[in-house]
A and B are shown apart, each in its own frame.
Chain A
Amino acid sequence: SQQGEEDPQALSIQEGENATMNCSYKTSINNLQWYRQNSGRGLVHLILIRSNEREKHSGRLRVTLDTSKKSSSLLITASRAADTASYFCATVPNSGGYQKVTFGTGTKLQVIP
């Protein structure tokens, strides 16, 4: 079953603009991760944020987590055409051991050069 819902489902922006994607989830989590997937390809892990963290940065990526609202956002600053891909949030539940990563519905980002 899907844990997360993401919005928007699709996003089209001009190169240089910022892109923001949101993810909502349903259950208590250990951590939340964001992945990128280019069309027809495998997943690329972007960033992990733990349940006790509120914000995390990695290069042009900024992720926030609000556990009270069960939501997260991914901000890509100064977007590039190469950022065109689908982005998925994924949650790991808070019950110890190796956990199933459950994916959200995804946001398809198009960056127009």
Chain B
Amino acid sequence: GAVVSQHPSRVICKSGTSVKIECRSLDFQATTMFWYRQFPKQSLMLMATSNEGSKATYEQGVEKDKFLINHASLTLSTLTVTSAHPEDSSFYICSAPEDTDTQYFGPGTRLTVL
């Protein structure tokens, strides 16, 4: 089946730095991608909808200046965590719908901010 990849799989950074996470749909085009965050032992919370060719749509409570999303092409969306702090440490997962019923999830990126 279709595959969505994420890079990197894990990243450790110092407080105050910015981290970019890539999400790619490998064999299908995705005009829309979704970004989720998952804290330890909790469920996935939708952060934002990434739209190719237009601005991302953020969920309530998610700071758009903190989490910059760029849908650079039909197969790539990036999430940049700017000026990261320890409370941003989390598991970030993207997903890409192939059609209205089928959505593929990436393997996730574990971010640790020291």
B4 nearest in chain A by CB position = A42
Q: Do A48 and B101 touch (CB < 8 A)?
A: yes
The complex places the Cα of A42 from the Cα of B10 at a distance, in Å, of 12
The verdict on B93 contacting chain A, using a C-beta distance below 8 Å, is yes
Taking the nearest CB of chain B, how far is it from the CB of A2, in angstroms?
A: 6
The verdict on A71 contacting chain B, using a C-beta distance below 8 Å, is no
A104-B101 contact, Cβ under 8 Å, with A42-B107, A98-B32 = no
The complex places the Cα of A48 from the Cα of B32 at a distance, in Å, of 20
A99 nearest in chain B by CB position = B100
Main secondary structure of the interface of B (DSSP, over half): strand
Tell me which residues across on chain A come within 8 A of B59, comparing CB atoms: 1
Tell me which residues across on chain A come within 8 A of B105, comparing CB atoms: 35, 42-43, 45
Q: Do B100 and A42 touch (CB < 8 A)?
A: no
Chain A residues 58-113 with CB under 8 Å of chain B are 88, 92, 96-106
Q: Do B49 and A100 touch (CB < 8 A)?
A: yes
The complex places the Cα of A85 from the Cα of B110 at a distance, in Å, of 18
Number of chain B residues close to chain A: CB under 8 A: 25
Tell me which residues across on chain A come within 8 A of B34, comparing CB atoms: 100-101
Taking the nearest CB of chain A, how far is it from the CB of B69, in angstroms?
A: 14
Contact with A along B43-87 (1 / 0, CB 8 A): 111100100000000011000000000000000000000000000
Q: Do A103 and B93 touch (CB < 8 A)?
A: no
**Interface size bucket, A side?**
20 to 34
A106-B108 contact, Cβ under 8 Å, with A99-B100, A101-B34 = no
A42-B106 contact, Cβ under 8 Å, with A100-B34, A102-B46 = yes
Among B31, B100, B106, max chain A CB count under 10 A is at B100
The verdict on A31 contacting chain B, using a C-beta distance below 8 Å, is yes
The verdict on B29 contacting chain A, using a C-beta distance below 8 Å, is no
Q: Which residues of A contact B (CB under 8 A)?
A: 1-2, 30-31, 35, 40-43, 45, 48, 88, 92, 96-106
Closest 6 CB pairs of A and B: A42-B107, A43-B105, A98-B97, A103-B44, A98-B32, A42-B108
Q: Which residues of B contact A (CB under 8 A)?
A: 31-32, 34, 36, 42-46, 49, 59-60, 91, 93, 95, 97, 100-101, 103-108, 110
